[in-house]
Structure 1
Amino acid sequence: MINMIVRMALRPLINRGINAGIDRMSKGKTDGTASPEAKQAQQAQAKEAAKRARQAARVTKRMGRF
């Protein structure tokens, strides 16, 4: 019973940490000389990569349940 309560409390914290890490890594590094169009393209690409990483984390989590 205690184990279930602990897992219920830790699950949202772990998910928040994973999402924060994915967001931080997806921001990427841009140099100051890049054009605004290039920066926007890189941001869009990073956003897609973060979305795929979240999906992969969800799938992995589901597979761990079985």
Structure 2
Amino acid sequence: MNANQIVSMIVRTVMRQLINRGVNAGFNQISRRGGSAKGQGPTAITPERRAQMQVRQARRAARAANR
């Protein structure tokens, strides 16, 4: 291996690590904010979401009762 190949290999490795860190940080930031109502914390449940959860719970109960 000559010096040019070694330098290229090191640069590629460092760039790959930096790009992966940036992509991971971006996904983490998006996943923390995703699905929450505007101006509220990430654990806030919207009325629509609450209604969906209640419907799912009722369907599960109906299925369990029919078994």
User: With structure 2 as the length reference, what TM-score do the two structures score?
Assistant: 0.46
More helix as a share of residues: 1
User: With structure 1 as the length reference, what TM-score do the two structures score?
Assistant: 0.46
